[in-house]
Structure 1
């Protein structure tokens, strides 16, 4: 017991502001190449901070990294895994503790990387990188404790500001707040500016809370945890908020219906505000779909119904009902709100799936010179018949539909959509000698996102496709040995954001997936 307590103390100390002053700022550290370099052609740097400067120590993760040294043959590929898989634990667990009003409620503040704020989507995905190693564990220095801390803090954020996506450190942490840049945004409903870093309504952010919750539950079967604290109340807020964003633009009498969320600001980037004085493009009535004001990239939607986010929300609602069932079964006096909530969530899931099938699948010409059509998934629709045919690198995406569990990899509509994504018919598919991958308007044309390449591997069963994509990933880090936000498709030396913990963790997650599905791909050279 003393050993556990000591390790928890050290982990908390490492994440404290006073301790971090003696360690280099990883935002600067990660821009430089550190020895020893890998023995491969690309001589990738070693980018893990020294052990005393890591923000969370997990012997389980460190052992997984060591064990993969005998599985991954290529020295550059192994170095890339060695650097990226632990990146969130090494650099992004900025604070861990307990709620001021409840010493049993664990909290964990996880930043996205070079921005000192916690995104619901990013932090959920950062933790999911370690899902394959997660087991039930009540000790305070465990991965399980870290998951619980993130879930509890996300629940608090949602209960306070359900339309917002990124948040400042909790009061208990005494951490300095990140500057928001003096935004000119006019946002409704109002929110606590001291607690919120950014308030863009992104449907996938709410889904991410359900997703990390189910991830923890599926690995640990810890029903008791979800019956404690504020989780059930937060789920009710998620459902209520989703339903509130199903309001159409026009009532039956033709008048304009008020929208519960609006966002408008002065900006030189069209993707940083919503059209029509902050309400966005018109949304049709009776679609069964939920509006999303912004995409997972934090860019504004062009049409209100973002299909990948609706897919994810539907799947995560369905998954979360299993948690509620378990809470009901395990509790001697369950919360009376659980029964109607569980029924509502299941019905909501079915109506969303019906809406996606009716409005999210659209006809396109199969060839440019004939009249043959094929059915594919649209990225965004409005219910009036308009559709945006593209995909974006950020998750959830159309490409990631099997990864989020919405459909199977061999689904015929998905396969046709996938073929279109990796072609010139996708306006944001970047092609070049350095990296061929989906990008998006967030960084702009010419910039391919390694994250999309990783998802391409995770959703593929084609050895040749996976091998060529791995080869590009290994060769496009500019020697830093970290997964960047984006890379110029023609010049790997031109990249954005070297410290992007989610993308790094996703790469590690993909390597562990290959070790199970395609181990022979790790037992070859990528030189």
Structure 2
């Protein structure tokens, strides 16, 4: 058996972060012409975003990295947003990129980095408020759906799924994190802009529906109203047990039938998403208490957060044979657990990014070492990169989302530089961030237009500009 000391030595954290076996730089011509749409073809332009791009580009010494930032950071605004007014309210429909549908998770993450600029640009602020309003509309349509259309007459390719599909829904995979992202966005919109006007009657109804949905999915009294099965032959696209998932012991955790990758959970208690729920429920409790002056519902949100948190600490902290005491990704409450990590956020790697625990938390530090090691079955290493992937695409593929989150959850300069160097060396000459790529061949990638990954990369550069500007002065 490998002991914990040897495990740490064997993990990627002990190997040195500059260890790319083969340089990827030779693969691509160094031509750094902007890949953004022409100004007249952009969906939305923000003066504050344009000013930020110019300022940060000047501070990035590596020309290729600066070019990627210029392409990626505004990609959501350039290509994915549709803004309109309805009933005297702004609405913003945000597609994920190459799929014409609005994921609650993706749309939140795509526009999240622009929140810090909202007070500098009124047009941008209204656009962001429109995303909150649109997400509220989606939740009120169906809190169990993960992706929606702006046109209710559009027919989904998943219309025959065995679940309660409604007009306007693209896909109805129940994912706890989808609703957490909705809460996170509206809360942080208010905290950053100081504008409480988003907390109107519709918003309040949506939040109470989220509270109801989370309680339903604790399944204390019944299996609840949601079930899902799909007959396309892909086991990651459907669920066990007649659509309700594998059996669980009801311990207070919230069941999630799918992960943020849109893959089916094996054990229904997805711990990273339950952690996200704890943070988000507490945030909404603050809104109900501070803004709405509704102590009754504030206490209900807070109590659910505390119940879920206690269950996480009691049931999800387990001893791994190599890594020691860590968080499992999925559990069933009976003692069974799935020890792995997936690159999609929320994952175990992202715990401090979500605000659930500190980077210095001992269980998190053990978990992080596990996630970034060969003990994690979805960690891959090859000629050009090493990092976390997931079953959604398969073996030998890693996700830049994982590399970006790795950099966002460390203060280690060497590790951050490794992540930047790897991201720069594996974009296959496109200047954009992909969903995944092969560790031995970066030209073998999935999704050339994946706005979530593009904007999260922009968020990383923005973060480094504010916290570690000296790193951006490095040429890789």
Normalising by the residue count of structure 1, what TM-score does the alignment of the two structures yield? 0.83
Whether 1:284 and 2:249 are equivalent positions in the alignment is: yes
Whether 1:361 and 2:317 are equivalent positions in the alignment is: yes
Partner SS state of residue 392, structure 1: coil
**Quick one: distance in 2 between partners of 1:345 and 1:127?**
25
Whether 1:73 and 2:46 are equivalent positions in the alignment is: no
Match of 1:135 in 2: 119
Residue 229 of structure 1: CA displacement?
4.3
Which protein is bigger by CA-based radius of gyration?
1
Structure with bigger helix share is 2
* Equivalent of residue 122 in structure 1, options 106, 112, 131: 106
* Equivalent of residue 265 in structure 1, options 204, 211, 230: 230
Partner SS state of residue 362, structure 1: strand
Q: Report if aligned partners of 1:204, 1:396 keep a CA contact under 8 Å in 2.
A: yes
RMSD: 1.6
Whether 1:247 and 2:219 are equivalent positions in the alignment is: yes
Q: Report if aligned partners of 1:482, 1:498 keep a CA contact under 8 Å in 2.
A: yes
Partner SS state of residue 395, structure 2: coil
Deviations 1:62-112 (A, max 9, x none): 00000012210010010010000000000000x21122xx22x11110000
Deviations 1:155-205 (A, max 9, x none): 11111111111001156xxxx83x522543111xx242x210000000000
**Quick one: distance in 1 between partners of 2:185 and 2:120?**
15
Q: How does 1:296-445 map to 2 (within 5 A)?
A: 296-328=260-292, 338-366=294-322, 374-445=324-395
**Quick one: distance in 2 between partners of 1:240 and 1:182?**
26
Q: Report if aligned partners of 1:81, 1:508 keep a CA contact under 8 Å in 2.
A: yes
Tell me which stretches of 4 or more aligned residues in structure 1 moved more than 3 Å: 40-45
Q: Report if aligned partners of 2:322, 2:375 keep a CA contact under 8 Å in 1.
A: no
Whether 1:53 and 2:25 are equivalent positions in the alignment is: no
Uncovered stretches (5+) of structure 1, i.e. residues with no partner? 1-39, 252-256, 330-337, 368-373
Whether 1:166 and 2:142 are equivalent positions in the alignment is: no
Whether 1:97 and 2:76 are equivalent positions in the alignment is: no
Partner SS state of residue 487, structure 1: strand
Q: Report if aligned partners of 2:57, 2:69 keep a CA contact under 8 Å in 1.
A: no
* Equivalent of residue 113 in structure 1, options 74, 77, 97: 97
Task: Say if 1:170 and 1:213 are closer, same or farther in 2 by CA, change over 3 A.
Answer: farther
Higher relative contact order (CA closer than 8 Å, sequence separation 6+): 2
Partner SS state of residue 318, structure 2: strand
Whether 1:149 and 2:125 are equivalent positions in the alignment is: no
Residue 42 of structure 1: CA displacement?
4.0
**Quick one: distance in 2 between partners of 1:122 and 1:206?**
11
Q: Report if aligned partners of 1:109, 1:170 keep a CA contact under 8 Å in 2.
A: no
Deviations 1:11-60 (A, max 9, x none): xxxxxxxxxxxxxxxxxxxxxxxxxxxxx964355210000000001010
Match of 1:186 in 2: 162
Uncovered stretches (5+) of structure 2, i.e. residues with no partner? 1-27
Tell me how many residue pairs correspond in the alignment. Answer: 449
Q: Report if aligned partners of 1:45, 1:479 keep a CA contact under 8 Å in 2.
A: no
Residue 220 of structure 1: CA displacement?
1.0
Task: Say if 1:42 and 1:428 are closer, same or farther in 2 by CA, change over 3 A.
Answer: farther
